[in-house]
Structure 1
Amino acid sequence: MTPVFLTCALVGNFSTRQQNENLPITPEELATQALEAAKAGAAIVHVHVRDPATELPSMDVALYREVVDRIRQENDDLIINLTTGNGGRFDPSPVNPVVPGPKTNLLPPDARVGHILELIPDIATLDLNTMVFGGEVVINTLPSIRRMADLIQSVGVRPEIELFDSGDISILNQLMTENTFDQPPLCSIVTGVKHGFVPLPETLIYARNLLPRSALWTGFGTGAKAFPMVAQSAMLGGHVRIGMEDAVWLRKGEKASSNAAWSGKQHAYLKTWAIP
């Protein structure tokens, strides 16, 4: 059997310490939990950073640098995947929808990948979605996607294509006809985000079957569907992802004590299912 790679998603943009006090926030906490997750079986860590003072999402290159440096000082084999998702959100003002509201963080594509060009991780995410996300809209236009893909690959980093609905896969297939990617695409099928792919086995089969034949793919879910979708992805031939970005509860009534707790649980189940 082809080995299954486990990605640990450490922290995203939305979970808070009010939900789980064990959520990693500082660069030291993120790096420590990444290294612990690796020891528990994770091959890849997916990294967002937070402002330690406010605990809000950040794009500060210095924060990313500290996380990456701390990981690489201890473990040079762990694959580092940095997000480029921040910078695509538009919050229309209720008075005039053309005027950006306070949650808008739209940035030009070059600014969204600045930390990638400086730090050169192994992988960088590339979102293809334009969709309603919470009370805002995430916008990723084709010119912006193409530019980010070119910049990411110009420094030898491999894009991971984030797919939230079938329209995103249509964009991916168009980009494939344009020879946008230097290597077979790494794809993440994201389920459980409201107004996107519904976290069901049928959804994952449908999405998988739309992908380019050369694609390497991971399927995952969020919240209560995080663990069930890991099982579905593994059984359908995909790789797997889990972590405190996707779910802060390890099981009903028990908060995850760390990202290593998720990685260890998932690694043990993969072994139980005889998946290498």
Structure 2
Amino acid sequence: MQDTIIITCAITGAGPLSDNPAQPITPRQIAESGLEAAAAGAAILHVHVREPKTGQFSGELALYEEAVGLIREQNKDVILNLTTGLGSGFYPADPMLPIEAGPETHIWTPEKRVEHVLKLKPEICTLDLVTAQVFGGVVISLEPVLIRMAELVRAAGVKPEIELFDAGDAVLAKHLIKKGALDGPGMYSFVMGLNFTMPADTETMMYIRNLLPDGAQWQGFGIGRNQYPMAVQSALLGGHVRVGMEDNVYISKGVFSKSNAEQVLKARRLVEDLGPAIATPAQARKILGLAVQAI
């Protein structure tokens, strides 16, 4: 277990909108919820945006500009981590003959997937290595696309957080490091308990951790009811912690979270009761090898 543990708050995500009325939707709601989470102890804010009228996921640059701008106006210290996971979803028109894309498909060029990252230059962005069945479709991450995305964000001075959804993703990460597309040892997130990806349990977390390059920084986090058990498990096994309404909209069984800050405070209590301190943004930068100060 590390002496100092970083808490990331994943503010809203891109999955189907929940029934929790506190889940942030508009850029202002996302920014305000993130700022509250940062005040509660989150050193990193993981940012998606949603279409304000429908609540559906969005890749619109203007929405990212508004949300990020509002956060930076009030808190220049917190570390921002923008998603690049959109633009990889294939939903076949006919699931029994999946050769034609249906209307929900969103397959974008690498350039479009990182457009907001190149413009806004957060310190971190995600790089999802997953190819798997998710939310009724298939998320596709082909090697040439990942290499191009990695080249673009590296040129922008942004460090990728490598998201792993299964064991093969860790093998792919090491392959991309060997090819020079990614810098090692890297920092990683294990997405656990989502549909047909890696299960959320201790054995799996240990196995994926042991596949990483020596010296890697990582966090394992659980989806839904697995959120808090996996937060504690990650801390115990030497990782960092992620919570937030992207992954789970409950604070306890059957009780909706009132805010992302409430989740961060719960995670903070759990970690501090184990003994480690909670990292400030400055400490998190040092741990992760980021620049000394945010933009």
TM-score scaled by structure 2? 0.91
1:155 paired residue number: 156
Give, in angstroms, the shift of residue 253 of structure 1.
Answer: 2.6
State the Cα deviation string for residues 106-146 of structure 1 (Å, max 9, x = none): 01111100000000011100010111112111001000000
Is the deviation greater in 199-208 or in 176-185? 176-185
Distance 2:149 2:74 in 1: 30
2:285 paired residue number: none
Give, in angstroms, the shift of residue 183 of structure 1.
Answer: 5.3
2:206 paired residue number: 205
1:214 paired residue number: 215
Give, in angstroms, the shift of residue 3 of structure 1.
Answer: 1.3
Distance 2:212 2:107 in 1: 28
Please say if 1:270 is aligned against 2:283: no
In structure 2, the CA distance between the partners of 1:216 and 1:234, relative to structure 1 (3 Å rule), is same
Distance 1:129 1:3 in 2: 29
Give, in angstroms, the shift of residue 273 of structure 1.
Answer: 1.0
Distance 1:14 1:141 in 2: 21
Give, in angstroms, the shift of residue 176 of structure 1.
Answer: 1.4
Distance 1:15 1:168 in 2: 24
Give, in angstroms, the shift of residue 96 of structure 1.
Answer: 5.0
8 Å CA contact 1:6–1:41 kept in 2: the answer is yes
Distance 1:100 1:12 in 2: 23
Distance 1:15 1:270 in 2: 29
Give, in angstroms, the shift of residue 181 of structure 1.
Answer: 2.4
User: Which residue type is aligned with residue 28 of structure 1?
Assistant: R
Please say if 1:71 is aligned against 2:78: no
1:16 paired residue number: 17
- Moved runs in structure 1, 4+ residues, more than 3 A? none
User: Which residue type is aligned with residue 166 of structure 2?
Assistant: D
SS of residue matched to 2:215: coil
SS of residue matched to 1:246: coil
Is the deviation greater in 213-222 or in 231-240? 213-222
User: Which residue type is aligned with residue 232 of structure 1?
Assistant: Q
SS of residue matched to 1:24: coil
1:44 paired residue number: 44
Distance 2:161 2:84 in 1: 10
> Between Structure 1 and Structure 2, how many residues are aligned?
275
Instruction: Give the RMSD, CA atoms, in angstroms.
Output: 1.2
Distance 2:254 2:207 in 1: 33
Distance 1:43 1:150 in 2: 26
Distance 1:53 1:185 in 2: 37
Distance 2:184 2:66 in 1: 29
SS of residue matched to 2:272: helix
2:292 paired residue number: none
8 Å CA contact 2:184–2:213 kept in 1: the answer is no
8 Å CA contact 2:192–2:221 kept in 1: the answer is yes
Distance 1:242 1:11 in 2: 11
Identity of aligned residues (%): 45
Runs of 5+ unmatched residues, structure 1: none
SS of residue matched to 1:202: helix
State the Cα deviation string for residues 235-262 of structure 1 (Å, max 9, x = none): 0000110001111010013100000000
